Amino acid sequence: MGSPVCGFLKQNNIIFLRFFAILVLSCIPDRTNLCSNPSFDTPTIPPHSSSSSIPSSLKTLTLDGYFSFENLKHAAKDFGNICHYLPIAVLHPKSVSDISSTIKHILYMSSVTKLTVAARGRGHSLQGQAQAYQGVVINMESLDRPSMYIENGEVPYVDVSGGELWINILHETLKYGLSPKSWTDYLHLTVGGTLSNAGISGQAFRHGPQINNVYQLEVVTGRGEVVTCSDKENADLFYGVLGGLGQFGIITRARISLGPAEKMVKWIRVLYSEFSTFSNDQEHLISSNNSFDYIEGFVMINRTGLLNNWRSSFNPKDPIQASQFSSDGKILYCLEMVKYFNPEKIDVLNQDIEKLLSELNYIPSTLFLSEVSYVEFLDRVHLSEIKLRSKGLWEVPHPWLNLLIPKSRIFDFAEGVFGNIVKDNNNGPILIYPVNKAKWNNRTSMVTPEEDIIYLVAFLSSALPGTDGLEHIMTQNQHILDFCAKAQLGAKQYLPHYHTQDEWRAHFGTQWETFVQRKSAYDPLAILAPGQRIFQKAISIT
């Protein structure tokens, strides 16, 4: 299929300019906190006209799947559990043409309605990004594709549905001794959901984020067209969709790069009391050849009995020294490293690890090690999920804040935030690790700070029931953002969330115009992913 953007831009310059004006003018303009009211029917965007006729109009579509119009509260909920926008219908597509027909129908009706469409993966968004107030939510997990296709040749890959979970891809590819190379920390997320953001974890320093490990996509654009795109074919759409926050099309299929999988991992943690020593070691490791396969880190502020908590899954290298270590009251930094291996090569592995560790400057008594299977390691957060669910603590509000900080300012960030703005991390883990951007493709829609090494800092807070936790954490998050702005750190939000056009424009910086142009090319009426609150649906011009 030909590229819709080139023809559109060349032949319809006047129409382009008109749509461009509509999109810019219709970016959500006010500063109200759209998620402040947690009721299920918050009217955040003016409802469309003739809402009562919409369900019957959707019912006229001939589909392989079906719409549901009742009991839709699950589609107004996400992992963040802060924003709740009730849709008018949920589409359970069985085929790509169900999605295309629905979008075309909504376009056809666009002179009379403001109906929008949100693809929903697992709904692990934080601020309503996969919701559509009085719009249509597409339950991507119901998309029936032929089973995963694995190409086991010289350049191995897997073809998967956009609604597929990464955990299923792991299990399927392992049957061929293969595995995706770049992951997220939690695997019960969908391909379409993480590719709309980036997909960053401890392997990204070597392989780039998940969006840099995709060969090809099939996308249904906001015009209802089904387009295959890659670096060679419809490249503008391909790179636009990757990290594109769902703005340009719905990913119905992705071709993901694979590599050989190992069976086991050696999982290591060490502690530091000085931030600069910790970050120097992290930066040393991500720049070394033959380094670890996964490198992350986290901060612990005012925690007690830290090493004791590790003992259930890790073993101290020196139990006597470890028992004498006291963490109480200090800010400590944990470097977490993993090396993949096959058991028959354990001797070589141990030598490699010994060499790598000898180059580091951690507190010697805090070296802890563990050996688990590759699957257990990659699926590690699911164990916590099971425990938290059993205590009713998974479905609490999650006011997470994820930031990307340039290496040159990470020390200023640490000094200003840890122990000053954030005085403990009792609400949840704080991850911090560098990635090497030389491995990242900068043609995607994802926005990062302008340096070769950037840090991901993730405040993964949970607001416990019956406390003022949510308000407290959100205020603290705002203080962190204010600090970054005032100190001009050049930070960018990851999994971004803003209220105004100016904030989005600042977020995208020099990429903003390209983003707006792509929007007008692929989703000119701004139907898609309204929950990101970047553009507001326009009424069609005929």
Close Cβ partners of 120 (under 8 Å, ≥ 6 residues apart):
75, 130, 131, 137, 138, 139, 140
The least CB distance from residue 365 to ligand FAD, in Å, is: 29
**Alpha-carbon distance 504 to 486, whole Å?**
18
Task: Rank residues 22 and 527 by Cβ distance to ligand FAD and give the closer one.
Answer: 527
For residue 98, give the 3-state DSSP assignment.
helix
The answer to whether the beta carbons of residues 80 and 399 sit under 8 Å apart is yes
**Positions marked active-site:** 124, 185, 296
- Tell me the one-letter amino acid at 128: G
The least CB distance from residue 119 to ligand FAD, in Å, is: 4
The least CB distance from residue 130 to ligand FAD, in Å, is: 4
**Alpha-carbon distance 109 to 55, whole Å?**
12
Distance of CA 491 to the CA centre of its chain: 17
Close Cβ partners of 315 (under 8 Å, ≥ 6 residues apart):
368, 369, 370
For residue 184, give the 3-state DSSP assignment.
coil
Task: Rank residues 322 and 521 by Cβ distance to ligand FAD and give the closer one.
Answer: 521
The least CB distance from residue 292 to ligand FAD, in Å, is: 17
Render 490-518 in DSSP notation, one character per residue: --EEES---SSHHHHHHHHGGGHHHHHHH
- Judged by the rule CB under 6 A, the positions of this chain that interact with ligand FAD are 78-79, 118-125, 129-130, 140, 162, 184-186, 189-190, 192-194, 196-201, 245-246, 250-251, 381, 495, 529, 531-532
Task: Rank residues 121 and 416 by Cβ distance to ligand FAD and give the closer one.
Answer: 121
Task: Rank residues 118 and 331 by Cβ distance to ligand FAD and give the closer one.
Answer: 118
The answer to whether the beta carbons of residues 316 and 395 sit under 8 Å apart is no
Q: Of 354, 203, 208, nearest to 293 (Cα)?
A: 203
Task: Rank residues 242 and 367 by Cβ distance to ligand FAD and give the closer one.
Answer: 242
The least CB distance from residue 129 to ligand FAD, in Å, is: 4
Beta bridge partners of 538: none
Q: Of 257, 181, 250, nearest to 216 (Cα)?
A: 257
The least CB distance from residue 208 to ligand FAD, in Å, is: 12
Task: Rank residues 45 and 529 by Cβ distance to ligand FAD and give the closer one.
Answer: 529
Q: Which helix (H) or strand (E) holds 66?
A: strand 66-68
Task: Rank residues 162 and 316 by Cβ distance to ligand FAD and give the closer one.
Answer: 162
For residues 136, 140, 141, 146, the Cα torsion angle rounded to the nearest 10 degrees is 130
**Alpha-carbon distance 102 to 119, whole Å?**
12
The least CB distance from residue 184 to ligand FAD, in Å, is: 3
